Structure 1
């Protein structure tokens, strides 16, 4: 019998977990290494999953768990800073009419669901481990890991995120660049009246928004101009976010009252990254945030990463030969979809930074989201 092909996946986030699950389903032997000793540590507060992300999660076989753990809805409200609702728009069902337009979910819950699916797939998982050295030739890659192990693989998939060490190791010099914005995020109890995302533009921040993530939970965020992170003491995070949130009306007073624990508040800058030309070198290929990221103005970051995993696994599973042409075909198929998402997400943020009041934000959003109804 021919030995099964072997793949090492570096990184156990959404993209790495998804590609692992799909490759195992195709009978490919997969090792997954994750730098964190606690796989679900630092998973964050909340996430907005559009329909095209849900479509991939259904393909992974975890849609029922996601549906049970999250909160589905189909519209977005635009409000004034005082909470007055100015407009309510129906969200486009980018995953098809048989899936919700949007599901809000606690990030640790999504990670838990994916971890369980990876474990059930039979993949071999090693936590607290990084790839220390990659030596490749025409037939495969020998990988030395920080836990002292060494393995030989037909392919390595780098899914190790925005600051990917794999990207640097294979000679891709691109790095994420700040866009000029930053976001405060927190998980709080959900007020009974919150049944969709509402976005307030103006006030002391560019955007103040929230998304229901379950029967009793909410994910709230405030976007502002980025500040020197080193100058903001971690102990002041709750005070900083609550101070911004307190300027908004409607549901915000109840939300702001729960922003009390600085350890539960997250502050990050928005970054932009889009690697052009190819997403592989030899037999090492990159997916997800390792090759593209953008501000969450379209809530498409996780969706694009999940789609990467789906397309790469589909191509690998269906090909007799894993070669440069196949991995380049993966890039060509993805770049035409990822590029407009990155560019639109960055543009929406730049309009806000520049104070452009007549920008066609709804039109750009609509055109981009319509594109995403097509299969990846």
Structure 2
């Protein structure tokens, strides 16, 4: 090999991904596919200790999962369907609407699945990608310059990377460390969730608006399971003893008919009930500072009123990886320059209109309910948003 060959060959890039949730796992798999060295650190020692019982994945999320190479596993683990029912409090079906196939006609409109199963599928994809994974480990940004980012890990080791991807969620310590002051803000609503056996006949999401709570709904997650949820005005979390969670959710669900009596009867274990507030956040201006860039919930979050939180995180990972791995995109020189900074700004500018529309629509639907607006055009807003999401991110 000549000196000229050595000088011409681009130096191998290294990336640290902080956080092993949907966004972090997805960007890791996509970057590794292009041969980029990736270290992933996850603060939890149990990588699949995910909160929540189930997840609704609409077509645009399925489109990204197919790109990750895990669609077949998702399809076999989840429950696909193509419509949503609106019911009265007593369970009477008032209307059934066909869901928009936001991922294209070759994918289901919606797949419900148990959240831990989705996480396990993504974990296995990360392992298969050859990325280096460290669990029970946090990372602190010590400084950065034009040549890289210096990081110190909680085990005392240190590292140096060309890029750090902050996928460390709503309470992202990395977001704060790089000087972005945005924090999640409560919207005024909260949700109770639980996994339950799927009653015979439940083959789609059904939603009841009004009654004892704002929304009572459920989503099938397999041939034998579903997850159920009730949405109410948020309360002081300290005032609700965790050991009463099952009793409280069962009480709230008892006011609904149809499939709900069977679902409510199965809500007996408080450790399987999850209670969380709805939050909103949207970082404006840019999602990066130098060589550190935010993805997923670290950059934005919204209530699950149109079930797009995970989808937006997965799309972030896809777009960022696409820009970084384009053949002429990521400059091969050692120094970080304006061109590289522009690449990360283009990531933000490509994502922000789409994410903003989802955040605003999700918050608006909840606000209408908080305000008691009886003639709110919820179906119209949902339809317009989902139609927009049919376009590629």
TM-score (norm 2): 0.95
Match for residue 252 of structure 1? Answer: 260
State the Cα distance separating 1:4 from its structure 2 match. Answer: 1.5
The size of the alignment, in residue pairs, is 376
1:348 corresponds to 2:358: no
1:27 corresponds to 2:35: yes
> Mapping of 1:85-104 within 5 angstroms?
85-104=93-112
State the Cα distance separating 1:147 from its structure 2 match. Answer: 1.1
- The structure that has the greater radius of gyration is 2
Instruction: Determine which of 345, 354, 365 is the counterpart of 1:328.
Output: 345
Alpha-carbon distance in structure 2 between the residues aligned to 1:133 and 1:275: 19
Give the 3-state SS of the residue equivalent to 2:207 in structure 1.
strand
Provide the alpha-carbon RMSD of the alignment. 0.8
Instruction: Determine which of 270, 275, 281 is the counterpart of 2:278.
Output: 270
CA contact (8 A) 2:47 2:135 kept: yes
CA contact (8 A) 2:42 2:138 kept: yes
1:134 corresponds to 2:151: no
Alpha-carbon distance in structure 2 between the residues aligned to 1:343 and 1:43: 24
Instruction: Determine which of 6, 12, 25 is the counterpart of 2:14.
Output: 6
Match for residue 383 of structure 2? Answer: 366
Match for residue 176 of structure 2? Answer: 168
State the Cα distance separating 1:123 from its structure 2 match. Answer: 0.2
Instruction: Determine which of 102, 127, 149 is the counterpart of 2:157.
Output: 149
CA contact (8 A) 2:141 2:174 kept: no
1:55 corresponds to 2:63: yes
State the Cα distance separating 1:2 from its structure 2 match. Answer: 4.2
Match for residue 5 of structure 2? Answer: none
Match for residue 290 of structure 1? Answer: 298
Alpha-carbon distance in structure 1 between the residues aligned to 2:355 and 2:294: 14
Match for residue 128 of structure 2? Answer: 120
Match for residue 207 of structure 2? Answer: 199
Give the 3-state SS of the residue equivalent to 1:208 in structure 2.
strand
Give the 3-state SS of the residue equivalent to 1:297 in structure 2.
helix
Q: Which moved more, 1:288-297 or 1:132-141?
A: 132-141
1:309 corresponds to 2:309: no
1:79 corresponds to 2:107: no
Deviations 1:317-345 (A, max 9, x none): 01132611000000000001100000000
Alpha-carbon distance in structure 1 between the residues aligned to 2:318 and 2:59: 15
Match for residue 4 of structure 2? Answer: none
Alpha-carbon distance in structure 2 between the residues aligned to 1:157 and 1:66: 25
Structure 1 segments, 4+ long, off by >3 Å, are none
CA contact (8 A) 1:43 1:111 kept: no
Give the 3-state SS of the residue equivalent to 2:199 in structure 1.
coil
Deviations 1:225-279 (A, max 9, x none): 0000001000000000000001100000000000000000000000000000000
Any stretches of 5+ residues in structure 2 without a counterpart? 1-8
Match for residue 3 of structure 2? Answer: none
Alpha-carbon distance in structure 2 between the residues aligned to 1:184 and 1:43: 12
Instruction: Determine which of 43, 64, 69 is the counterpart of 2:77.
Output: 69
Any stretches of 5+ residues in structure 1 without a counterpart? none
Alpha-carbon distance in structure 1 between the residues aligned to 2:315 and 2:189: 26
1:158 corresponds to 2:176: no
Q: Which moved more, 1:132-141 or 1:245-254?
A: 132-141
Give the 3-state SS of the residue equivalent to 1:219 in structure 2.
strand
Match for residue 356 of structure 2? Answer: 339
Give the 3-state SS of the residue equivalent to 1:343 in structure 2.
helix
State the Cα distance separating 1:148 from its structure 2 match. Answer: 1.2
Give the 3-state SS of the residue equivalent to 2:181 in structure 1.
coil
Give the 3-state SS of the residue equivalent to 1:88 in structure 2.
strand
